[in-house]
Structure 1
Amino acid sequence: MSTPLHVKIRTGLEARIQSGELPPGARMPTEAELQAEHGVSRSVAQRVLNDLAQAGLVVRQKRLGTHVAEGARQVNLLRSLDPRIDSAGLPGRMFVISAEIMPAGKAEVQVPGLDDDDPVTQLVRVRHDQDDTPIVIEVVAIPFSLAPRLLEEQLESLSVRAHFAKNKVSIARSRMYFDPILLEPRHADLLGIEPGVAVLRRRRLMWQPNGQIAESAAYYLRPDALEFYVEYSEPSH
């Protein structure tokens, strides 16, 4: 199933907002400009801007146009689960902390279905926002057999799902868990906050069509850094 065009356009605009390229108060493209740039109908362009407004990312005013909302730091969690979308749209730059091949039993995250001696590639990165404040720690473990050349990629900008797509690795389903935890010293140091602070850990598992694990990931979120929400749009007929 392909991603609807209005979702692709919205995803690109969300990424520009959340990266700071379109800061609070910035003018958004008009419906006519979106039509011309993407070759879509007015109804599609209108839906893109309306969806962004409903998510709280932009403000639409008659005669004044559409502008980025103040404090637009929201992320739709469904995008983190949808295998058709290669990025969750989180803002800022990635910094690689470590990248190595190790036995699954020594990885920071559990990798269901693998023996402790099975090799995995583990990648630990920290995302900083446009003010260079660390906001998310990402720990990802992938069976080595699925991505044997992963460490040859540009890891600062790597999207695991895009890498899978490029290498014909199919994802059949994803599942997400949320755990309130007390931050350990090593993670607290990476986020620049005191250890023992209560944070939300977001865990994601992805499986292949044959039922075997494709990825196990954990995300440690700095308190108050981002606002997450869940939104589903009915497909147009």
Structure 2
Amino acid sequence: MDPSLEPLKARRLALMLRERIASGEIPPGARLASEPALALEHGVSRVTVRRALDSLASEGLIDRRVGAGTFVREAGAPKPIVADFANMLTHLVEMGRRTGVRLISFAYGTPPEAIAQALGLTAGERTQRSVRVRLIDGQPFSYLTTHVPERIGLTYSESDLASVPLLTLLERSGAAVERASQAISATLATPDVAEALGLDIGSPLLSLTRVVFGPDGRGVEHLHALYRPDRYSFQMELHRAGADGDRRWSPVPSHSVQSGSDATAWPSSAAAGGP
């Protein structure tokens, strides 16, 4: 057996078990099969099984009890945040208050050309760039890289950004937030992002890029956000609208805010003050 394949097999087994736990097939409090039984069932070595279980334990999904076995955690594990995609500019300050943040970097400089164009900056205009990790129940779920025009960024300090929701800081600076444009895709975790989010290098991530604009059409924030898909998801409630012959699906605004896999909606951390 090629030893180099063991980490890949362990990753595959961990993903399979995680899906069974997330779907409820293996309910909270249930005891997992023994390492030998899992190895036989999935045709892998016990080393591979041990690596997979170590990964799930590091995510807080299982408890490994010496002499008793391995059990799905009943409480204490971070629940995923469900973001209301249709209501992206709602409850942003509340989102900031109900999650924690770790500021990794804070500096001023010339942004990449693509970001300068997206924000509508003038030639040579600088931005305040920050990198933050947002946490729920003390566990990281998003890696956020934000560019704010220097004229706005100068109104708040590094310590402010580490403790106050960004939307609050933007509004305090006098910058009005009117609309936003955003796109969602998927990507893989680079080494620095993987370390910050507690993942393996190359793990799948949700990727969101958003630009927030003021009433004058000028950009006030550019965000590139990376989310752990096991701790964050988007949802949208839709209803049928329009006259006969022109029926279409239309978003239903939601006003509830809660966390957990059974949540009706969470304010989109994809919105200006959320991250």
Q: TM-score range by the shorter chain?
A: 0.5 to 0.7
Q: Does 1:171 align with 2:177?
A: yes
Structure having the higher Rg: 2
The answer to whether the 8 Å contact 1:75/1:89 transfers is no
Secondary structure in structure 2 of the residue aligned to 1:189 = helix
Q: Which of 129, 133, 136 in structure 2 is aligned with 1:129?
A: 136
RMSD between aligned residues? 2.8
Cα deviation digits, residues 25-81 of structure 1 (max 9, x gap):
xxxxxxxxxxxxxxxxxxxxxxxxxxxxxxxxxxxxxxxxxxxxx957322234433
What TM-score results when the alignment is normalised by the length of structure 2? 0.52
Shift of 1:229: 1.5
Q: Between the two structures, name the one with larger relative contact order (CA 8 Å, sep ≥ 6).
A: 2
**Corresponding residue of 1:162:** 168
Secondary structure class of the residue paired with 1:117:
coil
SS at match of 1:104: coil
> Match of 2:115?
110
Deviation string, structure 1 residues 206-231 (Cα, Å, up to 9, x no partner): 11222111100011101211232124
Contact 2:106/2:158 (<8 A) preserved:
no
Which residue in the other structure is 2:82 paired with? 74
Look up the equivalent residue of 1:226 and give its one-letter code.
Y
Q: Distance in 2 between matches of 1:90 and 1:218?
A: 20
Deviation, structure 1 residue 233:
3.4
- Asked if residue 186 in structure 1 is aligned to residue 192 in structure 2, the reply is yes
Q: What is the deviation of 1:139? A: 1.1
Q: Report the alpha carbon displacement of residue 116 of structure 1 after superposing the two structures with TM.
A: 6.7
Instruction: Give 1:162 shift.
Output: 1.3
Counterpart CA distance in 2 for 1:151 and 1:234 is 33
Relative to structure 1, the CA distance from residue 114 to residue 233 in structure 2 (aligned partners, 3 Å threshold; closer, same or farther) is: closer
Q: CA deviation at 1:94?
A: 0.5
Q: CA deviation at 1:156?
A: 2.2
State the identity as a percent: 20
Does the 8 A contact of 2:80 with 2:231 survive in 1? no
Residue correspondence of structure 1 range 1-237 to structure 2 within 5 A? 71=79, 73-82=81-90, 85-88=92-95, 91-105=98-112, 110-111=115-116, 112=118, 113-114=120-121, 117-130=124-137, 132-151=138-157, 153-231=159-237, 232-233=252-253
Per-residue deviation, 1:163: 1.5
Gaps of 5+ in 1: 1-69
TM-score when scaled to structure 1? 0.59
What is the CA deviation profile of residues 173-209 of structure 1, one whole-angstrom value per residue up to 9, with x for unaligned ones?
1112102112211111111111212211111111122
Deviations 1:145-166 (A, max 9, x none): 1231222552222222211222
The alignment covers a number of residue pairs equal to 162
